[in-house]
């Protein structure tokens, strides 16, 4: 995408810029070059992505090309598209994201679906989201359970800024409280919830190096890394939550598929949970473990 084109050269139309960008991003290792190119060009042109399909022959202005050039340069260095455009869709909600938060993943929608299934029968469900990040789980729960109240905790102050902003933009701020601190430590003494949910950090130290560069070099390690076996946060959480969950309520945890058996065993041996079950994500991988609180 040169700065100028000679008189003989084809003009820089939407179609030509997309084709050029797809080739360039492919060479730089993107696994989704066409999707990336379309999202970035729509962002540079301030238009919905679908608009590109009816604008293939339109000329792209110099300003738009300059913006696109910069976006493509950064994407070629494996910066995630969601950080470049500043938002990501999750469970039908448009969420603001920055490099201070993990980019919400489709796998996490499995946890939300199970939470909604369990909580729908309660008149006023109370939910605690530990490690809220962008606030995606908290926001999806509040948006889909009109009478729910959500408390969302994160240890990262800049992540909480993003989560609060998302709750406000989505009109959910009056039903989500945000607290800063380590796991459940900020919960006021004696307070209990119907459901505690968490997509905690669960990447083992030794696996950090093998993560794709988009993740390893750009997403917050605080959101990913969890000790030698990737279970350090989950183990602390399982030990800490029983007094905070009402009988009949439950705990839902996102996990890495290879952790499923160990997490189920921890929940069963705690003596505090029954009906321990693993759920698969859309790709068929074991992704969520959920358990119901036994009577104390």
Q: How far is the CB of 120 from ligand SAM (least distance, A)?
A: 21
Using rule CB under 6 A, residue 131 touches ligand SAM: yes
Using rule CB under 6 A, residue 102 touches ligand SAM: yes
Which positions from 50 to 89 touch ligand SAM by CB under 6 A, shown as an x/- string? ----------------------------------------
Single out the residue of 201, 230, 249, 250 in contact with ligand SAM (rule: CB under 6 A).
Answer: 201
Residue 15 has which token pair? 């179609």
Q: How far is the CB of 183 from ligand SAM (least distance, A)?
A: 5
Q: Can you tell me the distance from the alpha carbon of 36 to that of 82, in angstroms, rounded to the nearest whole number?
A: 10
Q: How far is the CB of 100 from ligand SAM (least distance, A)?
A: 8
Using rule CB under 6 A, residue 137 touches ligand SAM: yes
Pair 160, 178: CB distance under 8 Å = yes
Query: Which lies closer to ligand SAM via its Cβ, residue 66 or residue 185?
Result: 185
Q: How far is the CB of 281 from ligand SAM (least distance, A)?
A: 13
Q: Can you tell me the distance from the alpha carbon of 155 to that of 225, in angstroms, rounded to the nearest whole number?
A: 14
Q: How far is the CB of 12 from ligand SAM (least distance, A)?
A: 37
Q: What are phi and psi of 243, to 5 degrees?
A: -70, -15
Single out the residue of 151, 199, 259, 266 in contact with ligand SAM (rule: CB under 6 A).
Answer: 199
| Of residues 104-123, those binding ligand SAM (CB under 6 A) | 104, 108
Query: Which lies closer to ligand SAM via its Cβ, residue 173 or residue 222?
Result: 222
Chain residues that interact with ligand SAM, rule: CB under 6 A: 101-102, 104, 108, 130-134, 136-137, 153-156, 159, 182-183, 199-201, 222-223, 233
């Amino acid at each position: 995408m040169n700065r100028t084109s000679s008189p003989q050269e084809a003009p820089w139309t939407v179609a030509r810029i997309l084709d050029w960008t797809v080739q360039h991003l492919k060479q730089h290792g993107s696994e989704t070059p066409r999707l990336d190119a379309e999202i970035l060009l729509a962002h540079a042109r301030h238009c919905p992505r679908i608009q590109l399909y009816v604008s293939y022959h339109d000329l792209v202005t110099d300003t738009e090309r300059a913006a696109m050039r910069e976006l493509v340069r950064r994407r070629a260095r494996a910066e995630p598209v969601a950080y470049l455009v500043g938002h990501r869709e999750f469970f039908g909600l448009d969420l603001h994201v920055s490099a201070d938060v993990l980019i919400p993943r489709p796998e996490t929608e499995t946890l939300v679906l199970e939470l909604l299934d369990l909580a729908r029968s309660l008149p006023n469900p109370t939910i605690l989201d530990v490690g809220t990040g962008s606030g995606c789980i908290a926001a999806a729960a509040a948006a889909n359970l009109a009478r729910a109240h959500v408390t969302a905790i994160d240890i990262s102050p800049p992540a909480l800024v993003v989560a609060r902003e998302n709750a406000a933009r989505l009109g959910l701020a009056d039903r989500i409280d945000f607290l800063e601190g380590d796991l459940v430590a900020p919960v006021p003494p004696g307070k209990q919830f119907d459901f505690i949910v968490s997509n905690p950090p669960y990447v083992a130290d030794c696996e950090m190096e093998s993560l794709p560069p988009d993740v390893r070099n750009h997403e917050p390690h605080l959101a990913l890394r969890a000790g030698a076996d990737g279970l350090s946060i989950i183990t602390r959480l399982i030990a800490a939550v029983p007094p905070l969950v009402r009988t009949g309520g439950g705990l839902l945890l996102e996990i890495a598929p290879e952790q499923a058996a160990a997490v189920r065993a921890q929940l069963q041996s705690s003596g505090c949970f029954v009906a321990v079950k693993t759920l698969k994500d859309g790709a068929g991988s074991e992704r969520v473990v959920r358990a119901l609180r036994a009577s104390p």
